[in-house]
Structures are given as C-alpha cells and as structure tokens.
Amino acid sequence: MEKEELHKKLDNFLAGNNKESVDGELFSLLVRMDECRKKACPPNKERMWKHVRNALKLSRRRELMRKWAVAAAIVMPLTVGLCFYDYRSDEVVPVPENMGKRHQVSLTLNDGRVLQVQQWNNDSVIQESGTGILVSVGQQMIYHAEKVQLKEEIFNTLSVPRSTEYQVQLSDGTRVWLNSESELRYPVDFVSTERKVFLRGEAYFQVAKDTNKPFRVVVNDMMVEALGTGFNINAYQDDNCLRTTLVEGKVRISYSDTRQECILVPGEQAVLKEGVLTSGQVNVDDIIAWKKGRFVFSDMPLEIIANQLERWYDVEIRFDDTVAKYYRFTGVMKRYNELEQVLGLIEETTNVRFKVEGRQVKVFRNL
C-alpha cells in the first residue's frame, strides 16, 4: 500500500501536479533516482532499470515498468545540469530562446558559485551541505533538509532580476514569492533558535508554523517577526520607504534605530519612512496583486507607476516634463501584457503620451 502511495506521488510530480508540496519520502525517491542516473552515465537503460528497482525494492515489476520508464526519461537528461554543479564543468548549458542573459534567476551557493537556475531544460536535484534542493524548471526551488547535523547555518542567496518573478520553498516549509529585482538570503536549513532571512526588494511570505522558532525577515534596520503568517514586504530603494502588509496571522514590526515597534492585524500596513514608523488600513488585494500576475494602480502618481514598470519591463522611463510625474492613474492590467499595451491604457485616461525608443521611454504632457 505504501509503495502504491509513493508511486502515485511520483506520477503526480511528473505530471506537474504537486511540485509545491514535495514531502520527505518523495524527495528521497528523487534523490535516489538521480543517483541511479549518475551510475548509469553514459546512459545505459538496462543498468538504470536495475538500479532503480534495487533502490526502491519494487514488486509487481511488469505492471510498474511502463511508469518507471517515464521517470527514467525525466531523470536521464539531468546529466548536464548536475555535472555542472558537482564537477564544476566548464560546459556551457544552452539558454532557452525566450530567456536572455539579463533576466536570469541566479542562486549563489555557500562556496561562492553562482548558478543560473533557469537555464536548464529539466527538473534537477542538487545537494548543498546535506540539504537537497529541487529546482523545478522555470517555476520554483524547493529545499528539503536531510538528517545531517550542521554546526552552523549555511546560506544561499536567490537573486531575481528585472522582468522576472520566482518562488522558493525553504527547508521549514515556508514559501516565498519574489518579485522582480529582488534578493533573498537564507539558510539552507534552520539550525539556530530562530528562522532569520534577509530581503532586498519585494516578496510575499507564507510562513510555516513553528512556535519554537520565530520567523524573522531583516530589511536594512527593520525587522518583521511572524508566527504562521502571510505577509508582503516592499523594500525597493527607489520607493524611499519600507512597507509591510499583513494578509493573515500577526506580525511584529520593529525599527532598531528609534526603537519603534508596532503589531499588525490582517488588512493593515506598516510604513517606515524617514525614520518614522506608522500603520493603517489598506486594500490587501491591491498590494499582493503582483503575486497573481496583475498591476493594480489606485489613484497612483505616474512616478510610482513608472518605478514598477521599469522593474518589470526592464526599461528606463524618463519624464521630460516634471509635472507629469504627479499625474494620477487608476486601473488594473495584466503584468504579462506588452509594455505598449500598458502605456496605451494610461494614455487613454491620463493627459500624457509616451515615446518608446528601445529600452528608453519618454513621458510628455499633452499641451
């Protein structure tokens, strides 16, 4: 019965149905399969079947052979990506046509190696100081801590450039959505008495509950502490303030410079600007719309809108007329629309016009 359940989990994973909830049993299976792939490299199908069967001690081989064949077909192509990690190969991994060098999500390992995780064409499993990392093509990264006792925390850094967004599931089960031009530094396994991560840019956190280890996010001199909570932090430097918005649960915001502190309830936002910490009610759905693939601008100055468009479309927006910065716009648009579509909608209801020249956008008032 247990084997049938494990087999069902693998089928769902290969079909892309449960990549957000990889448990320890399934993760161990993926690691074993990858080890089998290495032993059978260069590819030898008969040897690979043997290693897979022996590792999992399967019965009913005839019935399961067809489905394990699918699993092997997925694992065998991982050779190039994993050799790149384990043996520091100089071989260049092909970049998909729709992924330019400017927009590569990168993972910096503890030893300083920088890996371009979106270059691979197949899901990959790698190891970092006893912690397994499942990299799902173009979607997310999942950490699963093995039974290895680390004496100190080992950190990774995930960097998401402009025009991109990415997800990571930390070793404690906490899920993080990173917006464009953002960076998260975190332990591969939380071995300390607290779970502390460091953020630059914007991210949404769905924190796994652990009453014995508080979860803390450090942003410059501000700290957000949570227990079993969903919240969004916006800390882009060009916005000149830090915003924490609570969706569910409870968080404590503290600012060390002035020892200010506040506790948020769902639907509230804390803003740290020019050394002053304030809080108030906001529309949460508008704040986290980026996570659902939407731009939501509610009576927003064009200067603030321009900052968001620059990060997402990787362009530079220049206001030839300073007054135009303060014009306001309200609208909801898909983030995956072409830039020209978004600019066109703004032009229809605002007294401005845009001129696109390559990666530069000029803004003029209609006089």
CATH of the domain at 269: 2.60.120.1440
Q: Specify if 337 maps to a domain.
A: yes
For tokens 């071989």, name the residue. Answer: 91
- Look at the pTM and tell me if it is higher than 0.85: no
Residues 168, 185: one domain? yes
Provide the token pair at 340: 């020209």
Residues 28, 76: one domain? yes
Which domain does 149 fall in, by range? 105-192
* 3-state SS class at 335: coil
Provide, rounded to the nearest whole percent, the portion of the chain with pLDDT above 90.
53
Q: Specify if 89 maps to a domain.
A: no
Residues 276, 300: one domain? no
Q: Give 141 or 23, the one with higher predicted confidence.
A: 141
- Give the end of a domain, one of 226, 255, 288: 288
- Give the end of a domain, one of 288, 304, 326: 288
Residues 221, 274: one domain? yes
Name the least confident of 78-82, 207-211, 215-219.
78-82
| 226 vs 204: CA distance, rounded Å | 13
Q: Is 320 exposed, middle or buried (0-12, 13-18, 19+ CB in 10 A)?
A: exposed
Give the CA distances from residue 169 to residues 19, 52, 178, 180, 344, in Å, rounded to whole numbers and listed in that order: 10, 27, 11, 17, 37
Q: Specify if 92 maps to a domain.
A: no
Residues 283, 349: one domain? no
pLDDT one-digit tens code per residue, 70-95: 343 333 333 222 222 222 223 333 33
User: Is residue 278 predicted with pLDDT exceeding 60?
Assistant: yes
Residues 152, 213: one domain? no
> Phi and psi of 330, rounded to 5°?
-125, 130
What is the pLDDT, as a whole number, of residue 103? Answer: 77
Q: Specify if 326 maps to a domain.
A: yes
Q: Give 110 or 49, the one with higher predicted confidence.
A: 110
Residues 29, 70: one domain? yes
Report the relative pairing of strands 140-145 and 166-169 from DSSP bridges: parallel
- Give the end of a domain, one of 245, 260, 288: 288
pLDDT one-digit tens code per residue, 295-315: 999 999 999 999 999 999 999
Residues 12, 64: one domain? yes
Q: Specify if 95 maps to a domain.
A: no
For tokens 């490299």, name the residue. Answer: 41
Q: In the structure, what pLDDT confidence band is assigned to residue 228 with cuts at 50, 70 and 90?
A: confident
Q: Are 310 and 319 in contact (CB under 8 A)?
A: no
User: Is residue 37 predicted with pLDDT exceeding 60?
Assistant: no
Q: Give 8 or 334, the one with higher predicted confidence.
A: 334
Residues 52, 110: one domain? no
The string of DSSP letters for 260-301 reads EEEEE-TTEEEEEETTEEEEEE--HHHHTGGGGTEEEEEEEE
Residues 327, 277: one domain? no
Residues 299, 277: one domain? no
User: Is residue 96 predicted with pLDDT exceeding 60?
Assistant: no
Q: Specify if 94 maps to a domain.
A: no
Q: Is the dihedral of CA 76, 77, 83, 86 positive or negative?
A: negative
What is the pLDDT, as a whole number, of residue 57? Answer: 41
Cβ-proximal residues to 266 (8 Å cutoff; 6+ apart), any chain: 246, 247, 248, 249, 284
Q: Specify if 184 maps to a domain.
A: yes
Residues 123, 71: one domain? no
| 227 vs 40: CA distance, rounded Å | 45
Q: In the structure, what pLDDT confidence band is assigned to residue 155 with cuts at 50, 70 and 90?
A: very high
What is the pLDDT, as a whole number, of residue 11? Answer: 63
pLDDT one-digit tens code per residue, 59-76: 333 333 333 333 433 333
The residue type found at 180 is S
The residue type found at 210 is D
Number of domains in the chain: 4
DSSP for residue 188? S
| 224 vs 252: CA distance, rounded Å | 6
What is the pLDDT, as a whole number, of residue 33? Answer: 61
Q: What is the CATH number of the domain that holds 331?
A: 3.55.50.30
Q: Specify if 88 maps to a domain.
A: no
What is the pLDDT, as a whole number, of residue 32? Answer: 61
